[in-house]
């Protein structure tokens, strides 16, 4: 027998209270024990996740367009980077002589640059 909800042209026996309760019971049984679990949050990135720095010595350092003149790199390695007031950062002409002794600091400046415009080539 077809039960109709008042005012609903498409109502069938699927709308009856008994049918709805049975459907709910079936759904509960279907999903019992296999509810989706929340995924564990991704661990925060740390310096351990960074790609390894090449063992080869630094061959070239340059600055791409987009420097915001924050002077952070100059604070880390003043022997290599120069940031004049209101000007983009430049690599000092005699910077190459510090590529060996200041390699780690140069890599740190590259990592810490807020706009990631410091480029380092190893070779």
Contact present, 74 and 65 (Cβ < 8 Å): no
Q: Is 63 one of the binding residues for ligand SF4 (CB under 6 A)?
A: yes
Contact 99, 106 (CB under 8 A): yes
Helix (H, G, I), strand (E, B) or coil at 91: strand
- Here's the x/- map for ligand SF4, 89-118, by CB under 6 A: it reads as x-----------------------xxx-xx
Among the listed residues 2, 9, 115, the one whose alpha carbon sits nearest the alpha carbon of residue 63: 115
Give the count of residues interacting with ligand SF4 (CB under 6 A): 16
- Can you tell me which of 71, 78, 82, 108 binds ligand SF4, judged by CB under 6 A? 71
Rg, the chain, Cα only: 32
Evaluate the CA torsion angle 106, 108, 49, 65 in order and state its sign.
negative
Q: Does 120 bind ligand SF4 (CB under 6 A)?
A: no
Tell whether residue 69 is a contact of ligand SF4 (CB under 6 A): yes
Question: Using the rule CB under 6 A, is 22 a contact of ligand SF4?
Answer: no
Residues of the shown chain interacting with ligand SF4 in the complex, contacts defined by CB under 6 A = 63, 67-73, 81, 83, 89, 113-115, 117-118
């Amino acid at each position: 027998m077809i039960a109709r909800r008042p005012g609903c042209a498409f109502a069938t026996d699927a709308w009856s209270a008994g049918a709805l309760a049975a459907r709910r019971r079936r759904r509960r049984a279907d999903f019992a024990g296999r509810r989706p679990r929340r995924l564990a949050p991704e661990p925060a990135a740390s310096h351990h996740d960074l790609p390894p720095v090449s063992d080869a010595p630094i061959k070239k350092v340059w600055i791409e367009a987009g420097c915001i003149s924050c002077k952070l790199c100059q604070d880390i390695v003043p022997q290599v980077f120069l940031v004049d007031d209101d000007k983009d950062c430049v690599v000092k002409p005699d910077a190459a002589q510090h590529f060996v002794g200041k390699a780690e600091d140069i890599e740190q400046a590259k990592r810490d640059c807020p706009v990631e415009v410091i480029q380092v080539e190893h070779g």
